[in-house]
Structure 1
Amino acid sequence: MKKKPIIIGIESSCDDTGVSIIKNRSVLSNIIIHQKIHKKYGGVVPEIASRLHDQNIIKAVQKAIFLSKINLDQIDAISFTLGPGLIGSLLVGAAFAKSFSMGLGIPLLTVNHIQAHILSHFIQNANINNSYPKFPFLGLVISGGHTQIIKVNDFFKMEILGSTLDDSVGEALDKIAIMLGFSYPGGPIIEFFSKNGNDKKFIFSKPMVRGLDFSFSGFKSDVSQFIKKQLKINALFVKQNIPDICASIQKIIAEILLEKIQKAILKTGISRIVLAGGVSSNHEIRRMFMSFAKENKRCEIFILKKKYTTDNGAMIAITGLLKYERNLHDSIHVTPYSKFKIF
């Protein structure tokens, strides 16, 4: 009987130290150490992030191995995030992975962070359908650092159809949250307050961007001008209307994302949609996309369980596993990259 490979995945692209061990697409452990210190700075401080990764990575690896109930010599390969991300944080993960690979004499597998978000859907029972999407499909990656529509023809054959021209959707939500007096990260706070709000109470403009690209800077400015104008009239406006403001903001963002996906469906003829990235955990975005799929019987929608939406080691491990199965090993001399690269 053919041995089922065991892969360890290291994620260190931003401020979360993620380590996961996967055996044949099944997650044996998935450890995430969050860096809560960034909250007081209103955003991630790169130097602090890399320093804390250096402190946390050994602890995360030890815990992942312990919970997996495996021995070191059972691990077949190590995968890690090569980019994009914060270069200091990526270097910490890369240095550890290279040392681990050389020390155990096992293959090294580099992972593109965006691809990994999409390929999270191939972890066993990772999405709410408990099934794997069939190729080809359209991937919508929405997070604090990325907003992209990607045509996925195979595991490692992907084509970018549209990207944000400025802020990512998650970045826009965080900046709007600060305008409302919330702390970082703001997206989850906006989501929390929106649950009891009237999403039709306030109307905000949608950016007019051709094709499948996105832009959120104009939308962010519109919200900012609206809030400033209302506060001049009533200093308590935000406090008195926070649920309705948050619900209205979420509704527009969800509509922007869905409208672009509808355009992508028309352009490609592909009606199988996969959502990925931290912002895909947002309840309004999920509700709107599921409602669209229900109304359009030919459309299939795949949505991750919330624990797999944010940055985590499991998405790196599954991508590493898929590369390992195809003998796509990497050199010890690879160098991390901070900015996005074409697949």
Structure 2
Amino acid sequence: MPVAILCSGQGHQNSAMFSLTESAPEADELFAYCANLLGGVDPRELVKRESIETLHSNRTGQILCTLQALATFETFKSYLPSQIIVAGYSVGEVAAWGIAGLFSPKETLDLVARRAEIMDAESTPGDGLLFIRGLSRNAVDILCTRYGAAISIINPGDAFVVGGGRPALDAIAEAARAANAQRIAFIQVMVASHTNLLNKAADDFRDVLLAAVCSPQSPGVRLISGIDGTTVVDTRAGLAKLARQVSQTVLWSECLRSCVEAGATSFLEFGPGKALSEMVASSYPDVPSRSVDEFSSIAGVVNWIGSHGSP
């Protein structure tokens, strides 16, 4: 039965994010290529010397998170079972297309860089994302309508990411606090991803995607679409959805449900961070779920894959 690979989004970039893969020969070419997208600086050095603010700037953050997923896949792909499911959270969905073989790793990095540039061009300073847990979907919808924001991502367990301008998000955070939300936190993302503020960006990114050269999907891989949780069957239709994801709500809870319904016997998050694997553990406690960020060695990840992924 297949392992579900989860490609993380922005928010958890850190100085140790490449600790497992930085010396892996399988990933060395990717790190070298990515330096061209980061002003000539090796990303392994960049994450150690730059400020948190730089690591969380939109373009740099999207590139680093995508590189994390691709470098991790290159390092561990020979140990993965023949059947895998791949789903990506926010920018992680572009990485998922690369892991599915539809884009080469270098093409995937180039596409993510363009995605970030297009999103930045349509963003206003102060735009961002707010996490809310513990209110109903209806209550969050009402707050978004009242203050001029939108639900960006729907996570399991009454957990939502809301996108909009800073005044709107400040007002929603205050109202959510007054409504006794369990948790409210601003996310270190500087664009209102997956909201209608980026409608033009979605159109522009669609043009970029449709001009890109897609390869046939790798055999044995099931790719999940972020905006509805369905399996990508038709490449062109899937590309259109991948573009719309920039300005449309991501149904992450449905993505996880689809992985389980497709027979996933375990989940492995590629990081950075472990937010996605923790969501799985909370929603599907009987399904083993880990993030590579929880391991201190490549051997540890390999042993876990061997114990939880059938050939």
Q: Kindly name which structure, 1 or 2, has the bigger radius of gyration based on alpha carbons.
A: 1
Relative to the length of structure 1, the TM-score reads 0.32
Relative to the length of structure 2, the TM-score reads 0.35
